[in-house]
Amino acid sequence: MHRRLMVKQLVLATGAYLLLPACRENEHRSSLTLHNLKIEADEEALLAELAETILPKTDTPGAKDISAHLFTLVMVDDCVKKEDQQKFMRGLKDFRKAAKTRLDKPWEETTPEQRHAFVADLDKAKKDDGDLHYFYSTVKRFTVQAYTTSQYFLTKVQVYELVPGRYHGCVPLKPAPQTTL
Amino acid sequence: MGNNNQFDAIVIGSGISGGWAAKEFTEKGFKTLVLERGRNVQHLKDYPTTNKYPWEFPHRNQVPQADRDENPVVNRCYAYKEDAMHFFVKDKEHPYVQEKPFDWIRGYQVGGKSLLWARQTQRWSDYDFEGPARDGFAVDWPIRYKDMAPWYSYVEKFAGISGNRDGLAALPDGEFLPPFELNCVETFFRGEVAKNYKDRHVIYARCAHLSHPQPVHLEQGRAQCQNRNLCQRGCPFGGYFSSNSSTIPWAQKTGNLTLKTDAVVDSVIYDDAKGQATGVRVLDAHTKQATEYFAPVIFVNAAALNTNLILLNSTSKRFPNGLGNDNGLMGKYVAFHNYRGHVSAECDGFGDSIFDGRSPTSAYIPRFRNLVKQETNFLRGYAAGFSAGRGRINNNEGIGQELKNNLASTKWGGWHVGSHMMGETIPKETSTVSLDSKKDEWGMPLLKINMAYDDNDEKMVNDYHEQLSEMFAKAGFKNIKTNDSKQAPGLDIHEMGGVRMGKDPKTSLLNEWHQLHACKNVFVTDGACMTSTSTQNPSLSYMAFTARAVDHAVKELKKGSLV
């Protein structure tokens, strides 16, 4: 249960991982070795459910489908300052405690509806400098970033053109039909 | 000699000017050795990120924190991101000494910084060449626009420069491919400035992109610019000019080029008996083993400050203070461009208009201050970039379905506009690069850099803020904000001088043909040769200087010698 996430080639592994949404089935997932963070398997699972609560699977993919929680871990591990990594880890523990207090049971045993209610309140709560808020806003920021830069989003929602092959300086703005997500 | 180490010409460096020296010499039949201290980067083959989508970058183009902590200088460069960081020198691997803060941005590989440049290409005019003579700083340039004009044409045709013929005395027209368009608000601002000022112009920024390739470009294996704006990764179309896509493969096709990579030049060898330079001493970047190569003519194109370093390190009985440094001025009068000032604003209107695709350039405001005569309390002037844009509104509110709806929103924000300054700085004797007593792992002295902004620069930033704010206000832009980045010199990546040109060997190092006054078979045509800096992006001038200097060298060699 308390297995440590291990991988040798973090960058390569995560790069490949993010390209292969089919790998999301937990049993077959290659795991991450993090350089700085110590993340237990249950903490990774919590992050996955939190990301999924922020961006749930509907008719369209959710956060888990694009491994947003793993992207979050890679970013916090590689691109965040040490003191903020510590804040993130403290916040993660605070989050678990706060959820348990509020929902009266461990995070793992809650329903998607209960998780939504808890996270929606957290999202609306007044921002402060506390660890819990830092943790939550960091997870949300990286989850949204993972989602809006995912292959799904950039090919189906807002199409990214690698090779536009044209430039027209001034054309009428045609209101694009609202895409649904 | 007559061995494998003997060549007809040696070129130190394969960046934007070294590549041109290689092309010109090899085309004229010279067996040419190009020495590059870094690794090879072959066009197409060695652009590992060029076709990657955003989701293929593990950190979505962000540089990891450990790299930022280890290499604070290069991390301040706008282009140092996950997609191009492999083309930059890391601070940690190549240390230097900052007597005053200086952000030295370097590219040690075949192509040098020509892979990474911002591709802006403007000619100098006589308002620029005559600056020192008129204003009494530095020394007079030994050349004028008429000397350079045919060579600007020569390099523009081959490199491929997109631009409008604007007919401005301050910024002579060139051999242009068609321009890309300005966008709605850039065009609007152009009209407003024309209405409000007689002597100020907003033009399409000329750039080294193939908007409409000609046979000579197709022959290079290059194709039309595809508006990717991912140039810093290396372009799979060869849409912009770089040594890698253009001059180096062209030189290779002649069969006369020997390209030696991982070759750190220690010094130029001077033969006291012959009274001329005979070759170059090179250290293998990996084994550190020394080898000597010989040629009757040597071009030093190591990039401005490293050219200073090599020449200062080239000591002999005749030149104890560096090759050609009889007057002790080598390494002095270095300068840069002042890029500190920014002005931003919002533009109401044009809500029903947008651009489509991506433009590789934007708009440009040629220098208008102190152009024809001195009119302010500071010397010289500045050019400015100008661009307008608008983007989709980012809305990350809420969670669940609400957030999904917000992320899918196709609502557009309003237009915003921005400008940055490109100011001339005055080369001073107190601005120097010199050799430190500490050595690097190849036994080369570390370069010690000492330059800073002065009162003239401070006044110029203020004036730029005032004038651009006024121009913005007259165009009806709202919420005008000025910003002074206070960035250190060097981050402009336009360091220049130290081996300046001039008429008099007592006060300059190079003559009108870029030859060291005191050692005529050694030429310097990169940024080190700059007597003054003016406001233009300098690369186009380095290309033209190089082609002109090689032409001269070859003519002289055919007559007999370069002594």
Residues in chain A closer than 8 A to B202 (CB atoms): none
Contact present, B293 and B5 (Cβ < 8 Å): yes
pTM: 0.94
Rounded to whole angstroms, how far apart are CA atoms B172 and B459?
27
Answer yes or no: do A120 and B187 touch at CB < 8 A: no
The residue in chain B having the minimum alpha-carbon distance to the alpha carbon of residue A144 is B396
The answer to whether B399 contacts A119, with C-beta atoms less than 8 Å apart, is yes
- CB-CB under 8 Å, A15 with B54: no
- Residue type at position B186: E
State the smallest CA–CA distance between residue B49 and chain A in angstroms: 12
Instruction: Inspect the interface and report whether the beta carbons of A164 and B353 lie closer than 8 Å.
Output: no
Q: Which two tokens stand for residue B424?
A: 């001339």
Residue contact A140–B396, C-beta within 8 A: yes
Angle in degrees, CA A22, A24, A25, rounded to 5: 100
Question: Is A55 in contact with B404 (Cβ distance < 8 A)?
Answer: yes
A51/chain B closest Cα distance in angstroms: 10
User: What is the token pair recorded at A66?
Assistant: 């694009």
HSE, side-chain direction, 13 A CA sphere, residue B139:
26
Q: Of B399, B402, B403, B415, which to mutate for an interface test with A (greatest number of A Cβ within 10 Å)?
A: B399
The sign of the dihedral angle between the CA atoms of B294, B298, B302, B306 is positive
- Write the burial class of residue B352 (CB in 10 Å: 0-12 exposed, 13-18 middle, 19+ buried): exposed
Q: Are B289 and B281 in contact (CB under 8 A)?
A: no
Asked if A140's CB is within 8 angstroms of B65's CB, the reply is no
- Chain A positions touching B183 (Cβ under 8 A) are 169-170
Rounded Cα distance between B563 and B560, Å, is 9
Among A78, A164, A173, beta carbon nearest to B64: A78
DSSP A129: S
Chain A positions touching B401 (Cβ under 8 A) are: 56, 58
* B6, B295 contact by CB (below 8 A): yes
Measured between beta carbons, the chain A residues lying within 8 angstroms of B59 are 74-75, 78-79
CB contact under 8 A, B227 and A165: yes
Instruction: Give chain B positions within 8 Å (CB) of A80.
Output: 65
- Residues in A touching B180 (Cβ below 8 Å): 167, 169
- Closest alpha carbon within chain A to B392: A158
Task: Please report the DSSP string for B509-553 in residue order.
Answer: SB-TTSEETTEEEEEE-SGGG-S---SS-SHHHHHHHHHHHHHHH
* Interatomic CA distance for residues A66 and A85, integer angstroms: 23
List the single best residue of A10, A36, A53, A79 to mutate versus B (max B Cβ within 10 A).
A79
Whole-number Å distance between alpha carbons of B213 and B233: 21
Candidates A119, A162, A165; nearest CB to B53:
A162
Q: Name every chain A residue with its beta carbon within 8 A of the beta carbon of B181.
A: 167-170
Q: Where does residue B100 fall: left (phi above 0), alpha (psi -120 to 50 degrees), or beta otherwise? A: beta
Q: Report the alpha-carbon distance of residue A43 to residue A46 in Å, rounded.
A: 5
Q: Which of B55, B353, B354 is facing A150, going by the closest CB pair?
A: B55
Nearest to A15 among B56, B62, B226 (CB): B56
Do residue A167 and residue B354 have CB atoms under 8 angstroms apart? no
Contact A151 B55 (CB under 8 A): yes
Which among A56, A149, A178 has the least Cβ separation from residue B400? A56
Residue B31 half-sphere exposure, CB side, CA atoms within 13 Å? 11
- Helix (H, G, I), strand (E, B), or coil: what is residue A27? helix
Which residue in chain A is spatially nearest to B387 when comparing CA positions? A169
The size of the A-B interface in CB pairs under 8 A is 147
Rg (CA), chain B: 24
- Name the residue type at position B409: S
Closest residue to B354, CB basis, from A141, A157, A171: A171
Measured between CA atoms, how close is B420 to chain A, in angstroms?
Answer: 21
Element at B260 (helix H, strand E):
strand B257-260
For the complex shown, is ipTM > 0.95? no
Nearest CB neighbour to A148, from listed B183, B400, B407: B407
| Euclidean distance between CA atoms B282 and B286, whole angstroms | 12
CB contact under 8 A, A154 and B400: no
Q: Do B404 and A158 touch (CB under 8 A)?
A: no
Closest CA to B8 of B263, B251, B298: B298
Per CB-CB distance under 8 Å, the chain B contacts of A70 are none
Q: Which of A145, A163, A169 sits opposite B184 (nearest CB)?
A: A169
CA distance B268 to chain A (A): 43
- Show residues of chain A in contact with B65, CB under 8 Å: 78-81
| Regions of chain A where pLDDT drops below 70 | 1-31, 177-178
Contact B354 A148 (CB under 8 A): no
* Chain A hits for B412, Cβ within 8 Å: 173
Cα of B467 to nearest chain A Cα, Å: 26
Testing the interface with A: which of B50, B403, B406 to mutate, by most A Cβ within 10 A?
Answer: B403
**Of B66, B181, B408, Cβ closest to residue A168:** B181
Q: Which of B187, B356, B392 is facing A168, going by the closest CB pair?
A: B356
Report how far residue B256's alpha carbon sits from residue B29's, in angstroms, rounded to the nearest whole number.
7
Alpha-carbon torsion (B544, B545, B549, B552), positive or negative:
positive
Going residue by residue through chain B, which has 563 residues, state the pLDDT in tens, using 9 for 90 and above: 447 899 999 999 999 999 999 999 999 999 999 999 999 999 999 999 999 999 999 999 999 999 999 999 999 999 999 999 999 999 999 999 999 999 999 999 999 999 999 999 999 999 999 999 999 999 999 999 999 999 999 999 999 999 999 999 999 999 999 999 999 999 999 999 999 999 999 999 999 999 999 999 999 999 999 999 999 999 999 999 999 999 999 999 999 999 999 999 999 999 999 999 999 999 999 999 999 999 999 999 999 999 999 999 999 999 999 999 999 999 999 999 999 999 999 999 999 999 999 999 999 999 999 999 999 999 999 999 999 999 999 999 999 999 999 999 888 999 999 999 999 999 999 999 999 999 999 999 999 999 999 999 999 999 999 999 999 999 999 999 999 999 999 999 999 999 999 999 999 999 999 999 999 999 999 999 999 999 999 999 999 999 999 999 999 999 987 86
Q: List CB contacts (< 8 A) between B398 and chain A.
A: 120, 123
Q: Which residues of B touch A54 (CB under 8 A)?
A: 399-400, 403
